[in-house]
Structures are given as structure tokens and as C-alpha cells.
């Protein structure tokens, strides 16, 4: 789903032109994809995307795009953000496509957080849905029982996820590999069981969440612009988009900084990095907390958007779905995460026949991926120590 500009012929075109036209193509594609009603239409678009992706890889378009991202990062990033706004604008009267888009953006935020843990630091966290749920329940409790401004509640959701993550930090940091996997899995199951039996938090029936309000403006009222009544999901899509972009930028900055380098070295060899003076414990605490904050903030906004949450939305299977986003995209690959979030969240929503089978489908897909292409759809490239450096030809 990277692009479908295979016809334009980028040979000879400057990378920026190729990059910008790819963004335009993706915007048109995304708009049509979200609007597509019939299954046949959706299947056709999926096939188109697959062919375009394959052809792009074969003919060097991917390389050209990488070049554009590297050489004209600022222009490309603005183009992508404008593109996202354009998709939201084009869909501004459609409830359901916007809901899907926002869910996808929030899952992308979650997967970015998990990617810092899995992909950069090599820590496992199979309680993604639990931290997501902590964010959502925090927003439920705070919106209905207190007068805390909702924007602060988003941050509160993140902080709450981080705080509860701190309870796990000792076992997670002290243990490695399988052992820390069991800690997080046990926590995920514990969390869901706890919610189900706890009457204060609504038990199995769950809780209502109040809507997002910003400076006295209720997000559940559709905004009016030039006399056109828009879907109230526009608000959430904009906020979710902002959150995803912010998460992406933060994660990218983290990856490129010396902190990211420390995280990478911890993943590759703990003993060696400790010998070189990297504080392994601090690196792990940082990655775990950073990831959980992103997951928690996304969860808080998700709760406000769907306005009703129940323990069944935060099961272990959902955690695994989040992990599959990270794996399908490629460990440590941020763009890969974005692409995989589209596939994992949107595809089953659009193809209703798949909805029932989605856990089966994605678990099968990840199994095949791990067997035949363990580096993911868009593998992470080797770290560039001099970002502006390009091979001389």
C-alpha cells in the first residue's frame, strides 16, 4: 500500500517529485479505500496496492522514495501530514470511515510504542492491550468523576499506564527473554480478570466514557465549517492524527538520538553495552516507560472516542494483534509499523468476511512472516550515523 504511481515512470524524475506524487497517490488510494462499500471494490483496491507495492520494489521506486525521505525529509513529512488532513477532509461527512481511520491511527501510536520496546530495546511486552485498557479506564474514571480537563486526561492515561508499568519494572528488567514474556503475559491476563471481577470499575459490563472536550468545545458535536455539518469523528480523527504524528516524531527522534543508539546496543548485546558504559537498567526502564506512555495515551483517546469500554476489548488476543502489527511491519521499522497498522486494522474492517477470521488470519500471516521473511514488510535499514551523508557515485 506504499504507492500506486507505477505508471508515471520515475526514472529521471527528481526524488522529491516521485515522493510527492507517491503521497498524492496514497491519499487518493486511502480515500477510495475507506469509502469503498462492496467487497469486490475493496479486494480490487487491495490487489492494486499489492501489485503496486511489488512493482515498486522491483523497479526501484522504493529506493527512489527512500532517497526522497532522506534528502527532503521536511517536505515529505509535511506532505504526508497534509495528505492525512486531506483524507480527513475528504471523508468529513462519513462516520464509519473516520472511525476506522482514527482507530487505525491510535493502533499505530500503540504499535510505535511497542516498537520501541520490541524493536529497539529487545524487551517483550505482551500486555499491550492491558496498557491500552489502563489508558481507557483512566479516561473513563476521570471524565465521569472529576472535572479534570480532558486534554490532561489523555496525558493522565499515559502517566497511569507508565505508573502501573513501574510495578512491573523490577521483574521485567531483572528477567530476560522467556521470563519477562511470562511476566507481561501474566500481567495482561491478571488485568483483564481484575477488571471482570471488580465492581467499582463496572465489572464485565464495562464503563461509559465521557467525550473529549477542548476549551469548552464538546468533541461529540459535529463541527460546522462553511455551513456543512461534519461528522463528529472529524474531531477525533484530527486529534488521533495529531497524536500519531507526534508519536511518530518522538519515536523517530528517540531512535536517531544517542538514547536510541543505547537502546539498540542493549538489544544487540547487553553485556557488551554494559562494558561500554551504557546503563542497561536505565535504558530498559526508559524504553518500557516511553512505550507504555504512548500506549496509555492512545488508549485514553480511544476510550473517549468509542465512549464505552469493557474488559473484553482488552484481551490477550488484542495484545497479540498489536504485537503482530510490530512484527508484520518489521522490528524497529517505524514506516513498517505504519503500513502494518493499516493492514491489520483496516483490512478486516473493510472486508467483513474477514472480521470473524481476523485473529486466525493475522496469526497465520505472522507465522508465515516469521518463517519466510522475519525482517518484516519494510525492514529497518541500517542505522545512519551521518544522516545527511549519501553514498558518492
Partner 1 sequence: MDIGLLGQYLANGMMLGTMYALVAVGFTLFFGVLDVIKFSHGDVLMLGSFTGFTAYLGVLAIGIENPWLMLLAILVVSITATAALGAVIARYLVLPLKSAPPLNILLITLMLGTALREAVRLFYPDGSNPKAFPALLPTASVDLGGFSLRADSAILMAAGIAVIIGLNLLINRTRLGLAIRAVAQDEETAKIMGINYTLIVLVTFGIGSGAAAFAGIMNGLYYNEINFGMGLLLGLIGFSAAIIGGLGNIYGAILGGFLFAGLQTVGAVALPFASAYKDVFAFGVVIALMAWKPTGLIAERSSDRV
Q: Please choose, from the candidates 78, 62, 64, the residue with its C-alpha nearest in 3D space to the C-alpha of residue 16.
A: 64
Give the side-chain half-sphere CA count within 13 A for 292: 28
Residue 347 lies near partner 1 (rule: CB under 8 A): no
Phi, then psi, of 388 in degrees rounded to 5: -90, 0
Q: Please choose, from the candidates 270, 290, 272, 289, the residue with its C-alpha nearest in 3D space to the C-alpha of residue 280.
A: 270
Query: How far is residue 215's CA from residue 197's CA, in Å, rounded to a whole number?
Result: 36
User: Which residue, 179 or 217, is less far from partner 1 as judged by CB?
Assistant: 179
Q: Please choose, from the candidates 329, 268, 370, the residue with its C-alpha nearest in 3D space to the C-alpha of residue 110.
A: 329
Name residue, grid cell 546496543: 265
Query: How far is residue 17's CA from residue 36's CA, in Å, rounded to a whole number?
Result: 28
Residue 357 lies near partner 1 (rule: CB under 8 A): yes
| DSSP string of 18-34, one letter each residue | HHHHHHHHHHHHHHHHH
Query: How far is residue 343's CA from residue 348's CA, in Å, rounded to a whole number?
Result: 8
Minimum separation from the CB atom of position 110 to partner 1 (A) = 17
Residue 353 lies near partner 1 (rule: CB under 8 A): no
Kindly identify the residues of this chain, within the stretch 278-317, that bind partner 1 according to CB under 8 A.
316-317
What kind and span of H or E run contains 227? none
Minimum separation from the CB atom of position 226 to partner 1 (A) = 47
Residue 363 lies near partner 1 (rule: CB under 8 A): yes
User: Which residue, 152 or 281, is less far from partner 1 as judged by CB?
Assistant: 281
Residue 323 lies near partner 1 (rule: CB under 8 A): yes
Q: Applying CB under 8 A, which of residues 58, 95, 174, 390 lies at the interface with partner 1?
A: 174
Kindly identify the residues of this chain, within the stretch 93-152, that bind partner 1 according to CB under 8 A.
118, 122, 124, 126
Query: How far is residue 9's CA from residue 18's CA, in Å, rounded to a whole number?
Result: 9
User: Which residue, 79 or 321, is less far from partner 1 as judged by CB?
Assistant: 321
Minimum separation from the CB atom of position 176 to partner 1 (A) = 8
Residue 246 lies near partner 1 (rule: CB under 8 A): no
Tell me the residue ranges of DSSP E strands in the chain. Answer: 207-208, 213-214, 217-218, 224-225, 228-229, 308-309
Q: Applying CB under 8 A, which of residues 49, 168, 287, 298 lies at the interface with partner 1?
A: 168
Question: CB under 8 A: which stretch of 3-11, 147-155, 191-199, 254-262 binds partner 1?
Answer: 191-199
Question: CB under 8 A: which stretch of 102-110, 140-148, 167-175, 223-231 binds partner 1?
Answer: 167-175
Q: Which residues contact 22 (CB under 8 A, 6 or more apart)?
A: 2, 3, 5, 61, 65, 68
Residue 381 lies near partner 1 (rule: CB under 8 A): no
Q: Applying CB under 8 A, which of residues 327, 340, 344, 377 lies at the interface with partner 1?
A: 327
Total residues at interface with partner 1 (CB under 8 A): 43
Residue 367 lies near partner 1 (rule: CB under 8 A): yes
Question: CB under 8 A: which stretch of 51-59, 62-70, 152-160, 360-368 binds partner 1?
Answer: 360-368
DSSP state of 378: S
User: Which residue, 30 or 329, is less far from partner 1 as judged by CB?
Assistant: 329
Residue 229 lies near partner 1 (rule: CB under 8 A): no
Residue 351 lies near partner 1 (rule: CB under 8 A): no
Minimum separation from the CB atom of position 122 to partner 1 (A) = 7
Q: Which residues pair with 213 in a beta bridge?
A: 218
User: Which residue, 308 or 359, is less far from partner 1 as judged by CB?
Assistant: 359
Long-range contacts of range 142-147, CB-CB < 8 Å, 24 or more positions apart?
143/209, 143/210, 143/211, 143/304, 144/207, 144/208, 144/209, 144/210
Binding region for partner 1 (CB under 8 A): 118, 122, 124, 126, 168, 170-171, 174-179, 181-183, 185-187, 189-190, 193-194, 197, 271-272, 316-317, 320, 323-324, 327, 356-357, 359-360, 363-364, 366-367, 370-371, 374
Amino acid at each position: 500500500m506504499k504507492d500506486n504511481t507505477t505508471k508515471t515512470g520515475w526514472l529521471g524524475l527528481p526524488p522529491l517529485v516521485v515522493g510527492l506524487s507517491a503521497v498524492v497517490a496514497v491519499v487518493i488510494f486511502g480515500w477510495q479505500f475507506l469509502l469503498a462499500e462492496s467487497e469486490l471494490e475493496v479486494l480490487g483496491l487491495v490487489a492494486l496496492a499489492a501489485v503496486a507495492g511489488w512493482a515498486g520494489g522491483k523497479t526501484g521506486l522504493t529506493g527512489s522514495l527512500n532517497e526522497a525521505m532522506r534528502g527532503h525529509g521536511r517536505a515529505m513529512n509535511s506532505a504526508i501530514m497534509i495528505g492525512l488532513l486531506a483524507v480527513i477532509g475528504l471523508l468529513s461527512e462519513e462516520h464509519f470511515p473516520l472511525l476506522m481511520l482514527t482507530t487505525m491511527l491510535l493502533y499505530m501510536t500503540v504499535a510505535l510504542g511497542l516498537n520501541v520496546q520490541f524493536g529497539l530495546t529487545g524487551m517483550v511486552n505482551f500486555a499491550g492491550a492491558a496498557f491500552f485498557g489502563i489508558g481507557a479506564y483512566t479516561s473513563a474514571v476521570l471524565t465521569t468523576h472529576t472535572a479534570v480537563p480532558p486534554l490532561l486526561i489523555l496525558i493522565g492515561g499515559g502517566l497511569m499506564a507508565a505508573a502501573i508499568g513501574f510495578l512491573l519494572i523490577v521483574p521485567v528488567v531483572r528477567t530476560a527473554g522467556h521470563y519477562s514474556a511470562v511476566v507481561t503475559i501474566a500481567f495482561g491476563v491478571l488485568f483483564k480478570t481484575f477488571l471482570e471481577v471488580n465492581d467499582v470499575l463496572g465489572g464485565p459490563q464495562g464503563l461509559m466514557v465521557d467525550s473529549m472536550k477542548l476549551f469548552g468545545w464538546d468533541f461529540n458535536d459535529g463541527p460546522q465549517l462553511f455551513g456543512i455539518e461534519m461528522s463528529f469523528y472529524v474531531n477525533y480523527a484530527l486529534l488521533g492524527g495529531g497524536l500519531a504524528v507526534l508519536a511518530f516524531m518522538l519515536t523517530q527522534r528517540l531512535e536517531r538520538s544517542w538514547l536510541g543508539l543505547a537502546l539498540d546496543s542493549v538489544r544487540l548485546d547487553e553485556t557488551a553495552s554494559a562494558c561500554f558504559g551504557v546503563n542497561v537498567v536505565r535504558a530498559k526502564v526508559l524504553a518500557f516507560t516511553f512505550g507504555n506512555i504512548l500506549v496509555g495515551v492512545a488508549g485514553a483517546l480511544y476510550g473517549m472516542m468509542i465512549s464505552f469500554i469493557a474488559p473484553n476489548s482488552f484481551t490477550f488476543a488484542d495484545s497479540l494483534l498489536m504485537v503482530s502489527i510490530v512484527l508484520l511491519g518489521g522490528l524497529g521499522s517505524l514506516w513498517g509499523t505504519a503500513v502494518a497498522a493499516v493492514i491489520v486494522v483496516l483490512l478486516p474492517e473493510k472486508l467483513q468476511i474477514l472480521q470473524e477470521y481476523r485473529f486466525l488470519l493475522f496469526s497465520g500471516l505472522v507465522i508465515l512472516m516469521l518463517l519466510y521473511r522475519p525482517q518484516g514488510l519494510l525492514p529497518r535499514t541500517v542505522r545512519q550515523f551521518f544522516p545527511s551523508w549519501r553514498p558518492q557515485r
